[in-house]
């Protein structure tokens, strides 16, 4: 039976991953979720799981070496799945230091503590241990609009935003540990995720939330930047497959083969909301293309991301199972059926962030 230390499990992808893992393995695994519960971490995402005997939550900062090494000492951890990070590009433009701290220093602490717990005197590691570092395709930079250009595992890193630079740094630390200490790890670089429990600072939940409440839909620049969207459950599955079957020291790109311009996404959201909301739902009257508002572009805005997930398909048999049309419908329904969740996460500090970020844009 594996004992997983999951960092950032109260966030968007982490909480979906924990749901996926208990759905698949039930009582045959143990998960310890370590999360600082920043603005992006929300234990409500896991309330159906919190009473399970094989699940526990520890509120801790991944930069806190003492707290992290204590968790390793007190538990027989053989898998680390490292999600915890500052994850939003716009916030990284405003406050890069928070990203360097958590994403770079936090990853360094996680690597150090795992190595101390696992490395034997002769420098080898037990066969069953693995550290999976969850990263992003944004480390590769920006692609031209050429439809044949993709990010591959061999594409040189060229990050542009403080967020992607901090993730690239953390990837290089993991690579350094693999090269120097033969530290048993894998890295996954995934494209943009969407699905339930995503904080509404990111494109898809922000647009759904604003459309439902009749607020402007702020489109950066010309709205033609392209992202490759993957349903979050498919990402969770990819991470599990890399843990189970991934060859040590390898990197796997994970992507949806599903490129859309931002403006296309917004039209899909409006169309789907109109189809799915019942006629007597008062929110339906708010849904309108007139809400679309072009605003000042993001600084250093990457034009296009697109992953060719050929290696993970060939080596591990993973592919993006969820069709975008199905995944986006499921996601939109989840948001309008979980209005309380949205209200809870958008009150207080988030409201202030939103006002500051979009004021005068
Ligand atoms: P998120 O912002 O929703 O969640 C991050 C979680 O980390 C939160 O629960 C937060 O409380 C926690 N956290 C932040 N700082 C911490 C600290 N110092 N100590 C402990 N916990 C801390 O992020 P997400 O979208 O779920 O992304 C998870 C991971 O996946 C990140 O590493 C991100 O770079 C990567 N990723 C995200 C996407 C995407 O589309 N969202 C795509 C590819 C890769
Ligand atoms: P985002 O969800 O922040 O993800 P990332 O920047 O990591 O890809 O943004 C996705 C795309 O949507 C990106 O091109 C920026 C754009 N965007 C807007 O046009 N308006 C918005 O309000 C937000 C949050 C994003």
Beta-carbon contacts of 88 under 8 Å, excluding residues fewer than 6 positions away, are 40, 163, 199, 201, 202
Phi-psi region of 360 (alpha: psi -120 to 50; beta: other; left: phi over 0): left
Q: Is the pLDDT of residue 346 over 90?
A: no
Q: Is the pLDDT of residue 342 over 70?
A: yes
Q: Is 137 a catalytic residue?
A: yes
Please state the rounded mean pLDDT for residues 188-205: 98
* Dist. CA 126 → ligand 2 center (Å): 42
- Going by alpha carbons, the residue nearest to atom 33 of ligand 1 is 87
Joined tokens for residue 128: 């069953």
Q: Is the pLDDT of residue 110 over 70?
A: yes
Least confident of 11-25, 168-182, 317-331, 347-361: 347-361
**Pocket lining: 191 vs ligand 2, CB cutoff 6 Å:** no
* Dist. CA 87 → ligand 1 center (Å): 5
Contact 61, 32 (CB under 8 A): no
Question: Residue 79: which pLDDT band, with cuts at 50, 70 and 90?
Answer: very high
Question: Residue 309: which pLDDT band, with cuts at 50, 70 and 90?
Answer: very high
CB burial of residue 201 (10 Å; 0-12, 13-18, 19+): buried
- DSSP H or E run through 355: helix 349-358
Percent of the chain residues past pLDDT 70, beyond the cut? 100
Q: Is the pLDDT of residue 198 over 80?
A: yes
Q: Is the pLDDT of residue 348 over 80?
A: no
pLDDT score, position 147: 87
Nearest C-alpha neighbor of 261 from the set 306, 297, 298, 295: 306
Chain centre to alpha carbon of residue 131: 17
Contact 44, 197 (CB under 8 A): no
* Dist. CA 128 → ligand 2 center (Å): 38
Distance CA 100, CA 106 (A): 9
Q: Is 234 a catalytic residue?
A: no
Please state the rounded mean pLDDT for residues 154-159: 98
Nearest C-alpha neighbor of 139 from the set 154, 127, 156: 156
Q: Is 138 a catalytic residue?
A: yes
From 6, 8, 139, give the residue whose CB has the most ligand 1 atoms within 8 Å, as the site to mutate: 8
Please state the rounded mean pLDDT for residues 53-61: 97
- DSSP H or E run through 261: strand 259-261
Q: Is the pLDDT of residue 360 over 90?
A: no
pLDDT score, position 248: 98
3-state secondary structure of 111: helix
Q: Is the pLDDT of residue 352 over 80?
A: no
pLDDT score, position 160: 98
Please state the rounded mean pLDDT for residues 9-37: 98
pLDDT score, position 350: 65
The tens digit of pLDDT for each residue in 247-279 reads 999 999 999 899 999 999 999 999 999 999 999
Please state the rounded mean pLDDT for residues 23-39: 97
pLDDT score, position 355: 81
- Exactly one of 61, 78, 138, 234 is catalytic; name it: 138
The tens digit of pLDDT for each residue in 114-141 reads 999 999 999 999 999 999 999 999 999 9
Query: Which ranges in 143-231 belong to alpha helices (H)?
Result: 162-181, 203-212
Q: Is the pLDDT of residue 361 over 80?
A: no
CB burial of residue 185 (10 Å; 0-12, 13-18, 19+): buried
Stated length of the chain: 361
Distance CA 184, CA 85 (A): 21
- DSSP H or E run through 275: helix 262-276
Please state the rounded mean pLDDT for residues 74-102: 98
Distance CA 265, CA 303 (A): 15
Ligand nearest to the CA of residue 100, numbered in listed order: 1
Q: Can you give the pTM of this predicted structure?
A: 0.97
């Amino acid at each position: 039976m594996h004992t997983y230390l999951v960092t950032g499990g109260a966030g968007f992808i982490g909480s979906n991953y924990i749901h996926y893992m208990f759905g698949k393995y039930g009582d045959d695994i143990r998960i310890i979720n370590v999360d600082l519960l920043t603005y992006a971490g929300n234990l409500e995402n896991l309330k159906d799981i919190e009473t399970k005997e094989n699940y526990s939550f520890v509120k801790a900062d991944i930069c806190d070496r003492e707290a992290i090494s204590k968790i390793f000492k007190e538990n027989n951890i053989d898998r680390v799945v490292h999600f915890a990070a500052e994850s939003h590009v716009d916030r990284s433009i405003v406050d890069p230091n928070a990203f360097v701290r958590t994403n770079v220093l936090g990853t360094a602490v996680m690597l150090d503590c795992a190595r101390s717990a696992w490395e034997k005197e002769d420098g080898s590691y037990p066969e069953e241990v693995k550290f999976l570092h969850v990263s992003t395709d944004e480390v590769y930079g920006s692609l031209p609009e050429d439809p044949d250009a993709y990010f591959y595992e061999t594409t040189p890193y060229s990050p542009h935003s403080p967020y992607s630079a901090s993730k690239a740094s953390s990837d290089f630390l993991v690579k350094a540990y693999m090269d120097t200490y033969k530290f048993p790890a894998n890295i996954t670089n995934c494209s943009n995720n969407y699905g339930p429990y995503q904080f509404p600072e990111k494109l898809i939940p922000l647009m759904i939330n604003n459309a439902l409440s009749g607020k402007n839909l702020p489109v950066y620049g010309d709205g033609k930047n392209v992202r490759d969207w993957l349903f979050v459950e498919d990402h969770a599955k990819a991470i599990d497959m890399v843990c189970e079957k991934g060859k040590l020291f390898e990197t796997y790109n994970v992507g949806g083969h599903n490129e859309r311009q931002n403006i296309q996404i917004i039209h899909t959201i409006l169309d789907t909301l109109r189809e799915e909301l019942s006629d007597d739902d008062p929110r339906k009257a708010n849904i309108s293309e007139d809400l679309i508002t072009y605003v000042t572009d993001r600084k250093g805005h990457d034009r296009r991301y697109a992953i060719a997930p050929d290696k993970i398909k060939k080596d591990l048999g993973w592919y993006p199972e969820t069709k975008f049309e199905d995944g986006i419908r499921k996601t939109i329904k989840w948001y309008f059926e979980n209005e309380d969740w949205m209200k809870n996460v958008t009150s207080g500090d988030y409201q202030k962030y939103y006002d500051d970020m979009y004021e005068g844009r």
